[in-house]
Each structure stands twice: as C-alpha cells, then as structure tokens.
Structure 1
Amino acid sequence: MKRITLLLLLSSISTCLFAQSEESLDLEKAIQMGLENNLQVKIAVETITLREGDEKIGTGDLFLPRVDATYLRNFSKEDVTQKFVNDPEPRQIDNAKSRNENFTVAAIYGFRPESFIVMKRLGQLTEISELETKVVVENTVAGISSAYYRLVLELQRYEVLKNTLELSQSRLDIAQAQYELGGAGKRDFLTAQVDYNSDLTLLLTQEQIIQNARVNLNELMALDPNVKFTVKDTILIGDPLLLLDLEENAFTENKNLLIAQRAENVAFLQMKELRASRLPILNLNGNYVNNTSNSDAGFLIQNQRQGFNGGGNITVNLFSGLTLNRRIQNAKVQQKIQSYATDQFEVQLKSDIHRSYNTYLTNKNLLEVEKKNYQTAKESTEIALERFRLGISSYLEFRDAQVNLLTAQNRLITSIFNIKEQEIELRRLSGKIFFQNSFAPFDIPAEN
C-alpha cells in the first residue's frame, strides 16, 4: 500500500513538472529573450547614451561660443530736488518719472589649447562604455548558455534517477515474489524496499533541483519564475578548440582587455591635457546693446545707445602654486599604474585561457573513459539483474551493480556538461562567444 502511495505521489509530481503543454525553448531563443529583457543589458545600453551625451556636452562647451540675451526694464517715480552751479535756487520736481530699457546680446568664446585632447579623452570614455556594454552582453550570453545547459543536465540526471528507480522497482518485485513463495527471507524484501525508498527520495529531490534550475534561467531572461518551457534533452559538443586560436582571438577581441587598453589611453590623454593647459588661452567677446533712458529730472532727459562692441584677450598662467606641476606628476603616475594594470590583465587572461583549456582537454579525455565505463556498468547491471532474478546472486551484488551504473551515468553526463561549460568560458575569454562552430550532437545514453 505504501509503495502504491509513493508511486502515485511520484506520478502526480512528474505530471506537474513535465507533462504540461509548455513552449519549446532552444538556446538561441533563450539568448534572444535574455538580451531583449535582461535589465543589466538595458542599464548598460542606457549608460552608453549617457557617455555620448557627455561627449556632446563637451563639444558644445569647448568649441561653441556662449551667447546670452538680456532684457532689462526699470521704472521709477520720485520727488527730486536739484541745485545747479549757474542757478543757486533749488529746483523741486515732484513725481519725477524715469524709465530705462536695455536689451543686450553678449557672445563669449574662449579657446583652450587642450580642447582637442579633451574631446579625444571623452571619445575614449565613450568607447569604454560601449565595450563595458559588450562585456555585459557577453556575460549574459554566457550565463544564459550555462544556465540552459545546467537545466538540460539536471533533466538528464532526472532520467538517470528515474531509470535507477525502475531497476529498484524490478528488484523489489523480485524480492517480494521470492519472499511470498518462500524462496527468500523477509530481510531481503525489506532491504529492497528501503533501497527503493532511497532512490525515490533522490528522484523527488532532483525535481526540486530542476525547478530551481528553471528559476535561475528565467531570472537571466527576466521572466517570471513560474514561466514553464521545455528544453532539448541533449548537450551538443562543439568542434575542437585550438589553444593558439583562442589566445590570438583573446588579445584582439577580449572586451575587458580592450577596456584596459582604452583606460591606459585615457590616462595618457589626461597627462597631455594637463601639459596643454600651460599654453595661452584665447578669449573673444562681442555685444549688441540697445539701451534707452528717459528722465523728467536732470540735464539729460533722454539717452539712447545702440550698436556693437567686441574685444578679446590672451591669458597665460605664470604661476599657480606648483599645483599644475603636481597634477602632471600624478597623471604620469596614473598612466604608469594603468600600464601595469593592462600588462597584469594580459597575464591573467592568458592564464585563465590555459586553465580553462587544460580543464577542457581533461574532460574531453575523460569523456571517452566515461563512455566505456558506462557501457561496462550497463552490461554488469543487466547481468546482475538476471542473476538476481534467477536467485544465484545476492541483493548486495545487484545493488552494487545498480549503484555503479548510476555513478557511471552521472559521471558521463557531467563530463559532457563540463566540456560545454569550458567551451562557453573559452569562447567568452577569446571574445568569440557569438561565433558558434558547427555542432556534432552526442546523445546521452539512457536505460530503457
């Protein structure tokens, strides 16, 4: 009765997980959805817009004049007492009105010799922002690919555990029949029941792992955790990767390395910008004035001016408390630091590629071993099951063969997944994650 209840529970959970009518999702579609929906990608794209805006602001500040228009109008009404040299008698004017109207257009332009260098520096910062966005995109693609194949792996493990449970069910049926016919003791039957329950527990736990793997993939695609879909049940191994090609591509295409190189250029331009600030600064100004004044008191009862005026000056900084010299020295140090950082990243990048490539080769070699080991374990389990069915082997012999088969299957599919993980990482490091080679499918063998 307990076994029937457990089977019903397993059947209901499996139906909820896998038997629903779900949308099919391949890796290409998952990546497309992720790049469209992932919020980190959107933030990175908007950051480029900010950098481009800063560059345009810099262009306006450095190369375009500033033009201001001012309109002023004043009105007053006062009691005025006036006394003149040629007329000793004071003159009293009550409620004397005065009006002043002024319209001015002023243009100011200052040319600084370092302006062109500043524009180059701003352009480099924009390029850095674009490269940082590409890094986010590549990391998103790598993350989605890894999460997608992780889900495939967990689904394959589920099938392996499901096959193991079927073997345990066969063993339990045989043990029960032998016990009921008096051919075996109750202990063998109870042991088979315990092993069956243990395998069932592993299968139920695997279902929870699959659910979390789906949630992780949905998170990278910015989807609701409850969104369901079906994925392909195989992991495809790509064409062999060559170390020399990976290194060559990495030193020309790796976005983080390009960012470090651009940052080194920025430090160099900052030093040139400070040095150029020692050169003379040219300032030009021009004004258009239209001014009208009216007054009921005084000799001048109306004054009107209209016209243009302009001028310019050249400014040279002679002394600033040695501040500029210190800033230039700091810029030189910053450039040296950034150069060291670029060199260090190149060393790290090469090391990362070699580490990942060594793991890649090791797993490819292990794959052949695991294939043979799986076939041996499968044949051994079939023999053990038949011997157990005939009553010429103990339950321990059969259980050992069953556990060996489970281990061999898990190691085989894990080896394939590890190869795919290293392929993704190596393509990411080499800056070629979008350039997929042709794939050769390799189906995971499963027990029927």
Structure 2
Amino acid sequence: MNALMLAVALATHATPVSLEDARARSRDNVQALTAALQASSAEQDVRASRSSLLPQVRFSAGASLNYIGPQRSYNVVPVEGGGFQQLQIDTPEVRYPFFNLGVTVSQLLYDRAVWARLEQSGAQLEALRGEATEQQDTSELEGINRFYSLFRTQATIQVLEANVRRSEQQLERARALFQAGRVGKAEELSALVNLGNDRIAVVSRQSQLATDQARLSTWLAMPGAEAVEAVDPGVLTQAPAPAPSLEQALQEARTRRPLLVALRQRLRVAELQESIANAGYLPRFSLDAGYQRTGPEPSVFFGQPARQNRVNGGLSISWDLFNGFSTQAQARRAEYQSRVAELNLQQSERELEGSVRQSLVALQAQIVSAELAEANRKAAADALVLAEERFNAGVSSTLEVRDAQLKLTQAELTLLENRINVEIARFTLMRAMGTLAPGEAK
C-alpha cells in the first residue's frame, strides 16, 4: 500500500512534456538566452562602428553673466616734447551678459581603420551568432538527454511493474497448486519472497524518477518542484532508422555546423585586425564646418541677426609619418593573431571530422545492439512461456519460472536501454553535423 501511495504521489498533477517541447524549451533556456543576448549586444557594436562614418553634428548654446570689479591699470602714453609717461587709470566695476550659439559639423572622408573596424564588428557579430546557435544546439542536446533519462526511468518502472504482475500471477499459481496438493508449501513461500523483491525494485526506482523530473524541469526553466512526465515519443514501437553514410555526415557538418561558422568569422575578425593595423600607414581625410554667434548684449545678439556671426570650414589631412615603429609592431601582432585563428580553425575542422565519425560509429553500433536486444527479448519471452507451462504441469519448480522471469525482465530492460541509446546517439550525431535545428549554418 505504501509503495502504491508513493507512485501515485509522484504521478499526481505531473505536467506532460513531449520530446519536441523539451527540444524547443531547451533552445530558450538560460544558457542559450545568455549567448543570444551577447549576439544582440554585438549588433550595437556594429552601430557604434558605423557611427564614425556618419556626420557628427554638435550644437551648443549658453548665456553667462560676467562681473569685473573696480580696476586700476597703468598705460604708457607719449608726452609733448618727447618721451613717455605712465598714466594711472581707474575703472569702475562693470556687469555684462554674454551669449553664444554654435553648430559644428564634421564628416570623415577617408580612414581605412574606421572602415575595417566596421567590417570587423560585422564579422564579430556573425561569430557571436554562430556561437549562440552552437550554444542552442548544446542546450537542446542536453535537454534531449534529460528527457530520455526521465523517459528511461518511467519505462523502467513500467517494466518492473509488469514483472511484479507476473510475480503475482506466479504466486497465485503456486498457491493453487499447493492447495491442490501438487506442490509443497516451499513453492508458495518462494513465490511470495520473489514478489516482495520485485516490489522493492519498483519502489527503489521512485527516487531516481524524482531526480530525473527535477533535472528536466529546471533545465526547461520550469519550477524545480513541478513534477513532469516525459510523453512517450514512440521509439519503443518502431524499428531504428538507418544511419547516414560517413560522406553525407561529413558534408553536412562542414556546411552546417555553427561552430565552424563562428570560427571562420573569428578568422575574418583577425584578418580585419591586420587591415586596421596597416591603416596606420595611410593618411586620413576629414571635412569640418562650423557656425558660431556670440554677443555681449541681448539687443545685438537677439535683435541684429546680421551681426556677430562667424562661419568656418576646411579640409584636413593627418598622416603619421613616423611613430616609432608602433604601426609596424601592431601589424606584426595582428598577423600572428590571424595565423593563430587559422590554426584553430584547421584543428577544429579535424576534430569535427573525428567527432562526426565517432558519433556515426556509435549510432551504428547502438542500432546493431538494439536489434540483438530485440531478438533476446523474444527468446526470453518464449522461455518464460515454456517455464510456466512446465510449472503448471507440475514438472518444474518456482525457481525455474523465476529464472525465466528475471531473464525476460533483464532482456526487456536491455532492449529499453539500447533503444533509447539509439535515439540519443542519433541526436548526438545530428549535433555533430549541425542539423539539430533546420536551416542552421551557412
């Protein structure tokens, strides 16, 4: 009764989660959203880089009140007959306002470094987008693993519960045969002990069920205390689909794996850093224009627009003819970083090929194992039927039935494990190929 209450408590109000729901929710979990926000932040870096190429307009206006206290000064003035003398001058205090209005416009005409930074920020954005998609794939695969872990536990409990029912039936047969005087009391007691052990096995799995529920719900950004139930994806009733060829898998990986997209853009970022560094050898041109209006009196400043105006404009060039070999050092450093990015890309391509092949071989092996497990399950089921017939005929013992029963249960659990492993291996291969989400990568 306690075991039944525990099972009911775990199943009550459980929220059903399908495989597709788990995949979709995993692509929007915290890790994936964080990577997407970083990519969105890089979009603003592109706008900031572009701003340097647009006209820069500044407006300024102000008004002030100035006070000059009493002053004494000496001026040198000529005198009759020749010579000079110092004349003392005392001026009273004075207060006067001052107004100013100005507009300046500057437009960069040419600076190779600015254009290269704009290209670089675009490449950086594409790299972060690739990394965000890569993180989405990683999160999705983790969600798939957690979904199948929960489904495996649920299905395992169902297999063990079916074994309990078989043990109950065996106990009923043993009691009936004992009452008919065809077997001894030991057969009934043995069947009773077997039933108790099978019920213990079911109860022991309940804690694992709660663990798997919590792992899946928290990964999908659901309340950790919420019970969830993995909806049967139907894989146990279907034969595994064949694995793709190695050539097809490698071709898909080279063109669609988001990691490679990101690394190629990282290489582009490094190459553009070379252009930025080499821009130090080139001149920079800009155009400046300005308008300013100042005046000490409101009547003049506001009432006589034709006065107090000043307009200026000009074309400027700047060229670092020599800066202590700083440009050369920066260009060399950028060249080395570009080479590092290229080596990383080449190594990642090699590792990707190895990962794809490894995942493909693992999938092929799991498919073969699932086929063998299915054959074993059929043989174990036939063996149990035969053992039960022999027991009912009174020519065997509960021990023989129990052995066949345990072998069938083990065969069913092995088939379950291998069939789920086929699906996990398939999704792992899809992750390596970059085909988890349709239309990924370029």
**Same fold, TM exceeding 0.5?**
yes
Cα distance 1:102–1:143, how it changes in 2: closer, same or farther (>3 A)?
same
Secondary structure of 1:159's counterpart equals: helix
Of 159-168 and 102-111, deviating more is 102-111
Q: CA RMSD in A?
A: 2.7
Distance 1:392 1:362 in 2: 41
Cα distance 1:233–1:247, how it changes in 2: closer, same or farther (>3 A)?
closer
Q: Deviations over 1:117-148 (max 9, x none)?
A: 11111100111121122122222332333322
Q: Which of 29, 45, 69 pairs up with 2:60?
A: 69
Residue 136 (structure 1) aligns with:
135
Q: Which of 101, 104, 111 pairs up with 1:103?
A: 101
Q: Which of 90, 109, 125 pairs up with 2:88?
A: 90
CA drift of 1:271 comes to 0.9
Map 1:179-190 → 2, pairs under 5 A: 188-190=187-189
Residue 3 (structure 1) aligns with:
none
CA drift of 1:288 comes to 1.5
Map 1:13-32 → 2, pairs under 5 A: 13-18=6-11, 20=12, 24-32=16-24
Distance 1:56 1:180 in 2: 89
AA of the residue aligned to 2:220: M
Map 1:116-195 → 2, pairs under 5 A: 116-176=115-175, 188-195=187-194
Distance 2:241 2:62 in 1: 73
8 Å Cα contact 1:286/1:310 also seen in 2: yes
Q: Which of 332, 340, 344 pairs up with 1:341?
A: 344
Residue 260 (structure 1) aligns with:
263
Map 1:27-426 → 2, pairs under 5 A: 27-35=19-27, 38-86=29-77, 90-110=88-108, 111-176=110-175, 188-225=187-224, 226-229=226-229, 231-232=231-232, 234-235=234-235, 237-238=240-241, 240-293=243-296, 305-426=308-429
Distance 2:43 2:173 in 1: 74
Distance 2:100 2:438 in 1: 67
CA drift of 1:435 comes to 4.4
- Normalised by the length of structure 1, the TM-score is 0.84
Residue 2 (structure 2) aligns with:
9
Unaligned runs of 5+ in 2: 78-84, 298-306
Distance 1:334 1:371 in 2: 54
CA drift of 1:24 comes to 4.5
8 Å Cα contact 1:71/1:104 also seen in 2: no
8 Å Cα contact 2:15/2:227 also seen in 1: no
Distance 2:48 2:173 in 1: 82
Residue 303 (structure 2) aligns with:
none
Q: Deviations over 1:277-328 (max 9, x none)?
A: 210122433321212247xxxxxxxxx7421012343222122232222222
CA drift of 1:200 comes to 1.5
CA drift of 1:79 comes to 0.7
AA of the residue aligned to 2:38: T
CA drift of 1:29 comes to 3.2
CA drift of 1:177 comes to 5.4
Secondary structure of 1:318's counterpart equals: coil
Distance 2:348 2:198 in 1: 48
CA drift of 1:191 comes to 4.1
Q: Deviations over 1:89-109 (max 9, x none)?
A: 533233223443333323344
8 Å Cα contact 1:22/1:230 also seen in 2: no
> Percent of pairs identical after alignment?
20
Distance 2:68 2:324 in 1: 53
AA of the residue aligned to 2:9: C
AA of the residue aligned to 1:71: G
Cα distance 1:72–1:112, how it changes in 2: closer, same or farther (>3 A)?
farther
Distance 1:17 1:82 in 2: 98
Distance 1:362 1:173 in 2: 42
Distance 2:101 2:417 in 1: 80
Cα distance 1:313–1:335, how it changes in 2: closer, same or farther (>3 A)?
same
CA drift of 1:229 comes to 4.3
AA of the residue aligned to 1:429: A
Q: Deviations over 1:345-397 (max 9, x none)?
A: 11111111111111111111222221111111011112222323443223332
Residue 444 (structure 1) aligns with:
none
Of 158-167 and 92-101, deviating more is 92-101
CA drift of 1:332 comes to 1.4
